[in-house]
Each structure stands twice: as C-alpha cells, then as structure tokens.
Amino acid sequence: MLQSKLFGKTLREAPRGEVSNNAILLSRAGYIDKLMAGAYSYLPLGYKVLAKIQQIVREEMEAIGGQEIYMPALQPKELWQETGRWEVLKEIMFQFKGRGDKEFGLATTHEEVIVDIVRKRLTSYRDLPLHLFQIQDKFRNEPRAKSGLLRGREFSMKDLYSFHASQKDLEDYYQKAIPAYQKIFKRCGLQSIVTEASGGVFTKEFSHEFQAPTPYGEDEIITCELCDFSQNTEICKLKEGDKCPKCGGKVKLTKSIEVGNIFKLGCKYSADMGLTYADESGKKQEVIMGCYGIGPSRVMGSVVEVHHDDKGIVWPKNLTPYHVHLLQISDKRKKDAEKIYQDLIKQNIAVLYDDREESAGVKLNDADLIGINLQLIVGDKTKDKIEYRTRSGKDRGIIKMDEVVKAVEKIYH
RNA sequence: CGGAGUGUGGCGCAGUUGGUAGCGCGCAUCGUUCGGGACGAUGAGGCCGGCGGUUCAAGUCCGCCCACUCCGACCA
C-alpha cells in the first residue's frame, strides 16, 4: 500500500476532548474517527487491526469447537419479554418503536435470540454439547461513554454460547474456555489475569473476568503476589496487604481493564424460553448454558493503552496493520525503496510504503506514531544498505538490499 | 441523572470595555531542502453549535436548546 494513497492522514494534535491514550493515539495516527461519544468509525488502518483481533478470536473459538453464526442486532420486544429482560435492561438497552406500535430493541447481548434459534432445532441429547459464537456489534446505552474504544455505546463483541446436557459438561467446557481466552490475549500482546467476579443476578457462583493490568484501567482487582488468586474489588473483601485466602501470600491492588468475561448461565434462559432436549430415556430436560464474551474493539483500545510510548503506538506483531513500514527518506534512493517495495509484494508481505514527498523527520515521526511493528528505512546514512528496526526497539540492524525479504521473514517467522 | 467546563476555516486554538474575524498546523502552486515533525513566496478556505432576545450594531451581553469532555452516580 502506498502511504500517499492511504485514507486517514496523521494528525499533529489530538482531537478536542479526547483524553485517553487509546483515543488520542488512534485518532492521531489515522486509525479511527469519532462519530459521537461512544461510537467510532474504523479507517483503513484501524479496520485492519480490528479484523486481526477478530480473526485471532475466531481461530481460538473454532479451536474449542465453536461454530460461527451471525445474528440480527435488531430484535423484537416480545422475545425479550420471555425472559423479563425487556424491563430489566431498559436503562441500558436502546428500545424504540418501528412502524405502528411494534417495539424493537438493539441487542445489548444475544441470549434471547440464540436460545430462540436453538430451541427451534435442538431435540435430543445427541445434539449436545453445542457451541455457537458470533462477532458482532453490541449496543449499550451507557450513562457515560468514555475512554475511547474502552467504553462505547456501540462496540465489537464476540459472544459464544455453550449448551450442555449436564452441569459437568458445562464445567468441562468452561475450563477449556479459560486457556482459550488466555491464548487470545497472549496473541494480542495482553497479559490477562483470570479474576473472580460477580456471577450476575442469576447465579451465586462467581463469573470470571479476564483483566489486562494497566494504570489506565477503570477496574480494580486484588491479586496475590504468590498464587493465581484474583478477585474484582466489586466482590473482594480483602484490602491491599491482606493475606491471600488461598496461599497466605500478600495481596495487592491493581488497576486493569476487563477484556473478557465468562459466565455459567445454568438454566435461566432455557427455563424462561422453553429450551429442552430429550435425554436418553426420552424425558424432557432443560439445557444448561454458558456464555463467553470478548470485546475486540475494547481489546484494541486496551492494547494501545498498554503498548505505547511518547512517540506513538507500539503494535504487538500479531496486530500490526502491516508487517512492514517501508520509509523512503532520501530522494536519491527512491529506486532502491521501490525495488524493496516490489520485492516484498512479490513475497506477499503486507507493506505500507511511505512514498510521500515529506521530510525525513515527518516520515520517521509518523512511522513511530502509526506503530507498525517493523520499520525499514531507506536513506543516505546507510549508503546502499538499509536499516531495519522493530517499533519496540528490541531488534535493529543494517542489512543489504537483497537480505530484506529474509530479514522480514525472520522477524515474523 | 447531579456538579464543572468547552463549542470560532479541515484540525488545534486566540479574539480586549459590543463596531461584521485572526494565529499555528494542514491544503494548493512555485523554488530551495531531506536520518527525527525544514524554509521562503503566493493563494484558497469561516451564517463564529442552534433558536430567540437586548442593541443603531452581537463571536462578544441575556434566555432556552443541542453536542462534546471531565468528576460523580451507573457499569447484565
């Protein structure tokens, strides 16, 4: 991709009113555009990153047996009345009238629809277990949208729903979902702490949140310095310095962002909506459910919160919008840069080529702001060679022109 | 929903005691530059968030509304 043709120029200054790191950097670097509080458009660079996150999530969900579907965000009131949640969620759900008196809501979550789909098709214990997921936008009428991509009114969400014949089977799947989630966050460059949290209104059991520690987070969790004990302060009775109830070590308070959350739903929805199956003896049983959420857009914001410096974004290599940012910073070497660009394209390496007529300083600064994982710099200083460096600064060096493809492949192996 | 702010060219801002708008960046053309946000010249671009009021005259004063931001409340 030629940077001279890329839609979404970098901005020298942060948009008025943006305060969070993720919103400022993503706006300045040309990844997102704010439409209104809590609703952002993804520009070409931004959509590439979001898509990469969604793809990682998709792969890991398929790896634990998830089948991808896609449900409407627009839903009828009647369905939500079956579970009583039309009333329960009226503060947070966008609810409105269509033609005549017909009432609709925009999905805050999809339990009602998925249960409706499944109850029409599920008949036997032989159909269980079943794991369905989708990646879709959710709508929540937040009292206060804020922090850029971290708390939106419309945001990308992966929601998986699992259906089981026994509590044990739910339990087993739940325990499989935890490492799958950890793998997702690891691939996205986020540390995730599995944290016990409120199970919500339908269960006394804990749910589990995946918390990415960062000083900019809006959640607070108590974690043990020695073992894996961790609880959200919403439910935790301990204070910093107290003894860990699990191992006796000291606990500490950490700020973090909730990037995922998994729940055992039990039979709440099956009971309300009549989702049953025939067991081995032909007797009707209620299906036991679990639900598992991750917000890809929130993950994207969180990654920027965690991975940035004073120059800009530092994308983890799995999320970088392009593998290579090729910078031509000397007109004398335009031909060399062109050649490298063509070589990389031939090897199917995603490259953003800064062919703009800008000064070296502008290009170097923009590259740091945009944060593509690997920069290739074609300038006078290196004579007929070129400099490569990862945005994190961990890896850098000077190589010959014909070693470029090899070097790029080595970094991404 | 309470409290506090802010709305002025594409973006970020300034605008005195009311007299019909200015700066920086960006953009366009030309020239000189080119390893960390270069420089000169010329130029385009604005119902000053909206509605109503006061006044000879409103970006500026008054009222109402809208949007955005921050703090709080909220966060199946």
pTM, two decimal places: 0.97
Across A57-66, A191-200, A301-310, least confident range? A191-200
pLDDT in tens, A84-94: 999 999 989 99
Distance A396 CA to B71 C1' (A): 44
Nucleotides of B under 7 A from a protein CB: 1, 5-6, 8, 11-13, 24-26, 33-38, 67-76
Which among A200, A203, A235, A205 is positioned nearest to A219, based on CA atoms?
A235
pLDDT above 90 covers a percentage of chain A that reads: 91
**Structure confidence by residue, pLDDT tens digits, A202-238:** 667 899 999 999 988 889 999 999 999 999 998 898 9
Query: How long is the CA A218 to C1' B72 vector, in angstroms?
Result: 14
Beta carbons within 10 angstroms of residue A271's beta carbon = 13
% of residues, chain A, pLDDT over 70: 99
Distance from C-alpha of A101 to C-alpha of A57, rounded to nearest angstrom: 39
**C1'-nearest nucleotide to the CA of A35:** B68
Our measurement of CA A221 to C1' B76, in angstroms, reads 20
Domains of chain A, by residue range, sit at 3-309, 324-412
For B37, nearest residue by CA–C1' is A362
**A25-CA/B18-C1' distance, Å:** 41
Q: CA of A16 and C1' of B29: distance in angstroms? A: 31
Task: Please name the residue whose C-alpha is nearest to the C1' of nucleotide B7.
Answer: A16
**In the prediction, which pLDDT does A56 show?**
98
Long-range (24+ apart) CB contacts under 8 A made by A195-201 are A195/A221, A195/A223, A195/A230, A195/A231, A195/A232, A195/A256, A196/A230, A196/A231, A196/A232, A196/A235, A197/A231, A197/A232, A197/A234, A197/A235, A197/A261, A198/A232, A198/A234, A198/A235, A199/A263, A199/A264, A200/A263
Is the pLDDT at A164 greater than 70? The verdict is yes
How long is the CA A16 to C1' B8 vector, in angstroms? 14
The whole-number average pLDDT for the span A122-134 is 97
Question: How is domain A324-412 classified at the architecture level of CATH?
Answer: 3-Layer(aba) Sandwich (3.40)
On the question of pLDDT at A201 being above 70, the answer is: no
Nucleotide nearest to A292 (CA to C1'): B76
pLDDT-derived band at A156 (thresholds 50, 70, 90) equals very high
Residue A228 to residue A54: CA distance in whole angstroms: 28
pLDDT, averaged across chain A: 95
Among all strands, which nt has the closest C1' to A39 (CA)? B68
**Assigned fold of A3-309:** BirA Bifunctional Protein; domain 2 (3.30.930)
Between CA A13 and C1' B19 the distance (Å) reads 35
Average pLDDT over residues A59-87: 97
Those residues whose C-beta lies under 8 Å from the C-beta of residue A92, and which sit 6 or more positions away, are A108, A140, A141, A142
**What does the alpha-carbon distance between residue A325 and residue A346 come to, in Å, rounded to a whole number?**
16
ipTM computed for the complex = 0.93
